[in-house]
Amino acid sequence: MIKISKNLNIPTFRLLLQYLLLNYLYLINYFLKQRQLLPILFLVRN
């Protein structure tokens, strides 16, 4: 893992972070649509 991390350049790392962030937001959106838990969204924002 350390060797792979050293071989990764900064743009690739940033793209990976953006990809993970989009997946995370997608899962939150899907969960909120399924459960209709809007108060959690407000708690996360605050």
Whether 40 shows a pLDDT value over 80: the answer reads no
The answer to whether position 2 is within a domain reads: no
What is the tens place of the pLDDT at every residue in 15-38?
Answer: 888 999 999 989 888 887 877 666
More confident residue, 28 or 39: 28
Whole-prediction pTM: 0.45
The answer to whether position 11 is within a domain reads: no
CA angle 33–34–40, rounded 5-degree value = 65
The answer to whether position 1 is within a domain reads: no
More confident residue, 34 or 6: 34
The answer to whether position 7 is within a domain reads: no
Whether 5 shows a pLDDT value over 80: the answer reads no
Contacts of 38 (CB under 8 A, 6+ apart): 32
At residue 8, the pLDDT reads 61
Q: Which domain range does residue 46 map to?
A: 22-46
